[in-house]
Amino acid sequence: MQSLQFKKIRICSELEQKALSLEFHPHKTLILGSNSTGKSTIIKSLFRAFDAEPTGELRGWDYGAIIAVDFTVGGKSYTSLRKGDLRALFSGHQLLGVTTSSLEWNDIFSNTVDFKLKLIDQEENFRAASPSIFFMPFYINQDGSFFSKWDTFKSIKQFDSNAITHTLEYFARVRPELYFEIKGNERILKSDVAELSVETSILAKTRRRLSKTLKASPVKLTAAGFEKEVHELSRRATELGSKQDRLRKDIVESQELANQIVDQIRLSNAALKEHEADFKTAGSSTDDLGEFRCPTCHATHDASFHNLLGLAEDAREVYRMKQILESNLSSVKDRITKYKRDASALKQEYVEVSNLLAAKKGRLTFEDVVKSYGADAADSALEQELNKVNNDIASTNVRLNELKAQLSELMASHDSDAPIKKFRAHFQELLSIVDVQAFEDIDTWKLNKRPNDSGSPGPRSVIAYYGALWSTIQNEKHELPSPLVIDSPNQNAQDRANLVRVMAVLANKTPKDAQVILCAEEMSDEFDADFTIILSEKRNLLHNAYMSKVSAEVFPLVELAIASLAGIRIKPN
C-alpha cells in the first residue's frame, strides 16, 4: 500500500465570508495554541474533507463550509473537496469523481489510496471500507481516542463488530490482503446457508402440518376438470338466461291476451245490458200496439213469437260467448302465474350459477389449490421446493469448502504470529518509556485491545499503545499508509516529566519517514518540529483576508463538481 500525505488544507465559509489556508510539512508539523484557538477544528476539518466524521462537536462552527485538502499518494497529487453532502476528487483541475453518496465515495477513495479492505456492514453487505476505517489507527482524537473503546470516528459503527480487528490485522499484515476478501465471502455464504436452513425448516414444518390436517380425497380434481366445470357453469348460465328471456316474452304476450279478453268480456257485458233494455222495450210496445219500433234503426217489426225468439237467442249467444271468454281469461291468468313462478325460480338459479361461476373464475388462493388438487399434490409441490432449497444449501456448502481450502492454503505460507509478537514487544517497551507499569497480560495482549487505565497513566498508556501499532504497521521503508495525527497528548493534565516522556515517544518512536501532525498547547524540546503553525486568537480561526484567494481556488472546483452531477460539461480553466 502506498503512503498518503497531507499537503495543504483550505477552508472557506461562505456564511461568514472568511477562509483559512494552511500547509503541512512532509515530516513533523506542530500546531501550537491554547484551548479554543482552533487546533481540533483544523484536524477534524482535515478528516471531514475525506467524509470521515471525527467524534466531537465543533461548537459555533459552520459545518457548511467548503473544505479542500491537497494530498499525495505515491507521488501523485490529488485534492479532496467537501461541501455539505458533496464529495469530489480532483487531480489538479481534472475531476476524477464526484458523488453525494457515502457508499460511492468509499469506492472512489479506496481506489485512489489503494485501500483494498472490504468489510461487512450492519446490513450484512460486503463492501469497501470507509475513509474513517482507513484513518482510524493513525488518528488520536482528544474527543474519542483516549478511552477503552474505538470511538475515533462516528461512522465506524456502520460496520460489524469484526471491523476493528480486521482493520488492524490488515494494516499490521497479521493476515494477507486476500484473507479478508475470502473471509467476507465466507461470511456472506454462511449467512445464505443460515437463511436457506430457516426456509428448509419452514417448508418441512408446513409439510408436516399438511400431512396432519389434510387427508387424501377420493375425488381428485385436476386443472382440466376445473376448466370443464367452469365451462359447464358458463353454458348453464347462458341456458338459464335464454329461458328467462323466453319466459319474460311469454308473460308479456299472455298479459296482452288477458287484457284483450278482459276488453271483450267488458263489451259482452255492455251488449247484454243493451239487449236486456231492448227486449223490455219490445215487450212493452207489443202489449200496447202489437208491433214495436227498433230504437236504433227506427224500423217497425211485428210482435211475432219468431222475432221475440230471435232476440232471446241473440242474448243467449252473447252470454255463452262471455262465459267462454271468462274461462279463457282464467286459463290465461293461471298461465301467467305459472310463468312468473317459473321466472322467479329461474332467476334464483341464475343468480346462484352466476355467483358460483364468478368464484370459480376468481384468483385461486393457496388453500383453493390444496383443496382442488388434494393433499398429495400439495405435498409433492412442497417436496420439490424442499429439494431445491436443499440443493442450494449443498452447492453453497461446496463453495464454502472451497473457500476454506483456499484460506488454509493461503495461511499455510503466512506467519501471523510475527506481527503480534512485534506489537507486544513495542508496547511493553513504550509503556516503560512513558512510565506506565506493564500490564499483567501483556504477553497475550490482542492487537485490537485498547488500554483502559484511569487517572494520569491512562493517556500515556494510550500513546504507548498507538506507538506500538505504528511501529508494527510501518513498512520496510519506515513509512505508514496515513499521516499520524495526534490531538493532543496532554490529557488529564500530565505533569512536566510525564509530558516529556509522551513527547519523546511521538518524536523518536514513530516511524522515521512518517508524516506527523501534532497539536499541543506549548512548545516542547523533545518534539523537534520541522514546521510550526501558531494559533493565537481564540474562536477566530478563519479570517476575511484569506477569503478572496481561497474562494478563487475552491469555487471553480465546486462549480465543476456540481456541473458534473447535473450532467453539464464545463471546460476547466
In a domain, 533, yes or no: yes
Task: Tell whether 41 and 94 lie within a shared domain.
Answer: yes
pLDDT-based confidence at residue 483 (cuts at 50, 70, 90): very high
Q: Which phi and psi angles does 307 have, rounded to 5°?
A: -65, -40
Task: Determine the longest span between alpha carbons in the chain, in angstroms.
Answer: 172
Lowest mean pLDDT among 12-16, 139-143, 275-279, 382-386: 275-279
Quote the CA–CA distance of 34 and 26 in Å, as a whole number.
Answer: 24
Task: Tell whether 183 and 167 lie within a shared domain.
Answer: no
In a domain, 572, yes or no: no
In a domain, 64, yes or no: yes
Task: Tell whether 237 and 333 lie within a shared domain.
Answer: yes
Task: Tell whether 23 and 161 lie within a shared domain.
Answer: yes
- State yes or no: pLDDT of 340 exceeds 50: yes
Please report, as a single letter, which amino acid is at residue 81: L
Task: Tell whether 406 and 423 lie within a shared domain.
Answer: no
pLDDT of the residue at 300: 60
Contact 39, 549 (CB under 8 A): no
8: helix, strand or coil = strand
pLDDT of the residue at 551: 97
Task: Tell whether 240 and 358 lie within a shared domain.
Answer: yes
Which domain CATH number covers 337?
1.10.287
pLDDT of the residue at 336: 85
Q: Which helix (DSSP H) or strand (DSSP E) does residue 353 occupy?
A: helix 305-361
pLDDT-based confidence at residue 22 (cuts at 50, 70, 90): very high
pLDDT of the residue at 373: 55
Quote the CA–CA distance of 334 and 246 in Å, as a whole number.
Answer: 17
Q: What is the pLDDT of residues 515-563, one digit of tens each?
A: 999 999 888 888 889 999 999 999 899 999 999 999 999 999 999 999 9
Contact 106, 136 (CB under 8 A): no
In a domain, 120, yes or no: yes
Quote the CA–CA distance of 82 and 45 in Å, as a whole number.
Answer: 10
Quote the CA–CA distance of 102 and 497 in Å, as a whole number.
Answer: 44
362, 388, 423 - which closes a domain: 362
In a domain, 538, yes or no: yes
Q: What is the pLDDT of residues 153-208, one digit of tens each?
A: 988 888 998 999 999 999 999 999 999 999 999 989 998 999 989 988 888 888 88
In a domain, 369, yes or no: no
Q: Which three cell numbers stand for residue 197?
A: 436452513
Task: Tell whether 439 and 398 lie within a shared domain.
Answer: no
Task: Tell whether 399 and 460 lie within a shared domain.
Answer: no
Task: Tell whether 255 and 340 lie within a shared domain.
Answer: yes
User: pTM for this one?
Assistant: 0.70
In a domain, 218, yes or no: no
Task: Tell whether 17 and 155 lie within a shared domain.
Answer: yes
Work out the mean pLDDT of the chain and round it to a whole number: 85
pLDDT-based confidence at residue 31 (cuts at 50, 70, 90): very high
Task: Tell whether 110 and 140 lie within a shared domain.
Answer: yes
Task: Tell whether 465 and 436 lie within a shared domain.
Answer: yes
pLDDT of the residue at 442: 94
147: helix, strand or coil = coil
Domains in the chain: how many in total?
A: 3
Which domain CATH number covers 66?
3.40.50.300
In a domain, 573, yes or no: no
Q: Which three cell numbers stand for residue 62?
A: 459552520
Count other Cβ atoms within 10 Å, centred on residue 201.
11
Hey, which residues does 20 pair with through a beta bridge?
A: 11
Q: Which helix (DSSP H) or strand (DSSP E) does residue 524 occupy?
A: none
Quote the CA–CA distance of 403 and 499 in Å, as a whole number.
Answer: 49
Q: Which three cell numbers stand for residue 149?
A: 473503546
Which structural domain range is residue 341 located in?
223-362
- State yes or no: pLDDT of 13 exceeds 90: yes
